[in-house]
Structure 1
C-alpha cells in the first residue's frame, strides 16, 4: 500500500510527485491528472511571485497548450481554481497559498520556463518537469535581511529627498527604514502573519527615526522642523505591487483578483498609517511641511535623477530583483519619476496627470527593454512607479482624520486616490500601445 504523506501545516503542502503514476511516460502522453498538476503548479508559483491574474492565466495557458489541454482558470490573490479538459474528460483543482508576496527574480525564471516549455516538454517526463520546477520554487532569496534593510534605507532616504526633505530627514529616514525593514524581513522569515510584521516594523522604524532625530537635535542643534521627515521611515511598506496589479486586473475584467489585491493593498496602507499615526501621537510628531532646501531648478533636476534611481533600485532589491534587473528598473525610474516631478514644478499640469505621464513613460521604456532582454514588464514598471505612490498624502490624510480634521484629511485622501488611479492607467495605456495581445480580449 502506498504511503500517504500528510502535511501538518494549516495550508497543507502538496506533494506534487505523488501525482505521478508512471515515471517513464513522457509528459505529453501522461494521463489528464498528471498533466493538469503541471498546469496548476505553474499557476500557483506564478501567483506566489505577486504578478496579476492576466500573467498567471497566460502562463497556465502556455503550459496547457503544450500538454494538449484546454484550461479555464479563476484567479484570486492567494488562491486559484482551474479545470483542464482533454478530448474525453475534465479535471479540476483548487490551490491556495499561505501568504502573498513579491519575488521578481522567481517571476523572471518562471516566465523563461513557460516560454521555453513547448520546446522541451516533448522530451521530458512529468517527474523531470516537476524537478525543474522544484529548482525554481526552492530557489533561496537573493538577499539577507541585512541587505533588505539596507535596500529600504536607500529607497526611503532617496524617497524623502524627492518629497522635499534635507540631509537630517534623509539620515533619520535611512536609519529608521533600514531597521524597520530588517525587522520585517526577520519576522517574515519566522512566518509571522502580515499584519504583525507590518505593524511592528513600522512602529520600530518610527521610533528609530525619533531616536536619531533627538540625537541630532541635542548634539548638532538641528531645527525641530526636521521631525517632519519621519514619514520617510515607514515608506518601505508601500504595497506597490498589489496596488498596481489590482488596477491592471480590473482593467482586464479580472474583478476577483483585482478587488482582492486592492483590498489587501488598502489593508496594508491603513495598518501602516494608523501605526505611524499612533506613534506620532504618543511622541508629538507632526507631518509639517519640509523646510525649503534653497536649491536652484537645475541643481534640483540633477539631484532628482540619482535620488529617483536610488529609490527605485532599493525597492527592486526589496522585491528580490537581481542587481542587473534592479539597475535597469532604477534607470527607468530615474527618467520617469524625474519627468513627473519636473512637470509638476515647471508646468500647470496637476500631479495626477503628471503621474499618468510618468507611468506611461515607464511602461513604454519597460516594453522596449522587455523586447530586448525578456525581463518581465511588471518587474521593471512597478518598482519604477512605486516611488510615485503618494505615501505622504495618504499618511497626512489618516493623521488629520485621526484628529478629527475631516475636511483636511479628505482633501489629502482625494489627492492620493487620484494619483494612485492614474499610475496604473499610465501602464495600461503603454501596454495597449505596444502589446497587441493586451489590447484585445479573446
Structure 2
C-alpha cells in the first residue's frame, strides 16, 4: 500500500497548498473548509449574504470561534479565529455561473450540519461529491429549454405563432452553441457575442426563407429580439440588486456591472447583425385577443418560459416546476393589474412581492433555496425586450425614444428588486437586522 492509499484508508484530510503538513483540523484546514463551502455557493450563483451565512455556519460547526468574510462577485476574503489565533485567506472559485442543483445541495448540506463536531475532512468530502455531479439535463434538453423560453417570451411580447416559432428555433441553436463554447471556459462576454450573432442569423433565415417563398406575408420581425432573450443574465441581475438592498455593495455593484456588460454585448451583436443584413427590428402588432383568452395565453407562456429558464439554470425538475407555477400566478396578477391602468412598475413590484412570499413558503416546506425559485420566477418580468429595443433605437438615431424606454425598463427592474426585498424583509428576521454573519 502506497502513502496515498494509506492516507485514504485512514480518512485523513488531504494536505492543502496552504497547509502542506496536512495537520488534521488545524486552524488553516478548518478555515479552508469553511471557505470552500462559500466558493461552491458563489460559483453556483448564490447572493453574497447567503454565502457569508453558509461559511459562518460551517465555521462554527468546525469549532472555529468566528469567521468574518467579505464576498464579491468573484472572490472571498475571510478571517477565521481559533483560541486567540487568526488566519486570513483569499478564495476564488474556478468559475462563476449559475447551477441551481449544486446551490441547492450545498445549502442543504450546510443546513443539516450540527452545531459542533464536524471535521474538515467531512466538509471536503461532501463538497467533492456535489462537484462531481454533472449537469442534470443533457445538451438537447438544455437547448430546447432555451428555445421554448424564448418562444414564450415572443408570445408575451405579442408575437404571432410564426415569429414565436422562429424565435424558439433561433434560441435553441444559439443556446446549443453557447453551451458548447462554455465548455472551453472562454470569456463570458465573447460567448455572449457568439451566441447572440448565431441566434440572430438563424432567426433571419428562419423568417426570410418562408417570406421570400411567399408562404407567409407581412412584417415578421416582432420576434427578432426575443430570439436572444435566453442571454439575459437574470441571476446576477436579481441577486445583484438584492445584494445592494443588503448593503453588500462590493458584490452587488460587480454583479450589476457583469449583467450590464452581458446585456450590452448581446444587444450590440443583434444590432450589428440587423445593420449588416439591412433589417430593422420592430414591435409586434397586438394579437387582438379577448381579455380572458389573452390571460390564458399569457399564463401558459409564462409557465413555459420560466420552466425553460429554470432548466437552463440546471434546476431539478421539482424546483423548476415550482418556480414556473409561482411565476404563472404572479405574472398573471401583474398583467391583470396593468389592464386596470396600474403602471407596469407598480404591478411588477406587487407581483414580485407575491413571488417572494410564495417562494418563502415553498422553500420552508420543501427545504430548497428561496433564490432557486424566486429568481427564475422573476426573470420573465425583466424587460429584456425593452432594453434591447432601446439599444437599437439609440443606434437608429432616436435617442429620445430610447431614453424613455430605458427609463421604463430600469424602473421595472427596480420595482422587481424592491418587491423581492420587501418579501425578504417581511419573512426573514436576518434581513431586518444590520448585523452580518460572523
State TM-score, norm by structure 2.
0.93
Q: Does 1:64 align with 2:42?
A: no
Residue 8 (structure 2) aligns with? none
Q: Does 1:434 align with 2:427?
A: yes
- State the alpha-carbon separation in 1 of the partners of residues 402 and 208 from structure 2: 28
2:150/2:226 contact within 8 Å kept: yes
- State the alpha-carbon separation in 2 of the partners of residues 155 and 50 from structure 1: 20
Q: How does 1:313-328 map to 2 (within 5 A)?
A: 313-328=307-322
Q: In structure 2, which of residues 71, 75, 87 is the aligned counterpart of residue 75 of structure 1? A: 71
Unmatched 5+ stretches in structure 2 = 5-13
Residue 48 (structure 1) aligns with? 43
Q: Does 1:416 align with 2:413?
A: no
Q: Does 1:263 align with 2:248?
A: no
* CA spacing shift, 1:235–1:310, aligned 2, 3 Å: same
* Partner secondary structure for residue 88 of structure 2: strand
Q: How does 1:14-413 map to 2 (within 5 A)?
A: 16=16, 19=19, 21=21, 30-69=25-64, 70-118=66-114, 122=117, 125-219=119-213, 221-344=215-338, 346-413=339-406
1:226/1:291 contact within 8 Å kept: no
2:40/2:93 contact within 8 Å kept: no
1:142/1:320 contact within 8 Å kept: yes
Residue 6 (structure 1) aligns with? none
Deviations 1:75-98 (A, max 9, x none): 111111000011220011101134
| Coordinate RMSD, CA, aligned | 1.8
- State the alpha-carbon separation in 1 of the partners of residues 108 and 416 from structure 2: 27
- State the alpha-carbon separation in 1 of the partners of residues 106 and 210 from structure 2: 47
- State the alpha-carbon separation in 2 of the partners of residues 284 and 364 from structure 1: 47
Count residues with an aligned counterpart: 423
Unmatched 5+ stretches in structure 1 = 4-13
State TM-score, norm by structure 1.
0.92
- State the alpha-carbon separation in 2 of the partners of residues 222 and 208 from structure 1: 17
2:108/2:368 contact within 8 Å kept: no
Deviations 1:219-253 (A, max 9, x none): 45323411121111100000111111111111111
- State the alpha-carbon separation in 2 of the partners of residues 104 and 15 from structure 1: 30
1:363/1:431 contact within 8 Å kept: yes
2:359/2:370 contact within 8 Å kept: yes
Deviations 1:26-72 (A, max 9, x none): xxxx2111111111100111100111110100101101111232011
- State the alpha-carbon separation in 1 of the partners of residues 243 and 16 from structure 2: 29
* CA spacing shift, 1:159–1:15, aligned 2, 3 Å: farther
CA positional deviation for 1:142: 1.0
CA positional deviation for 1:128: 3.2
- State the alpha-carbon separation in 2 of the partners of residues 44 and 379 from structure 1: 17
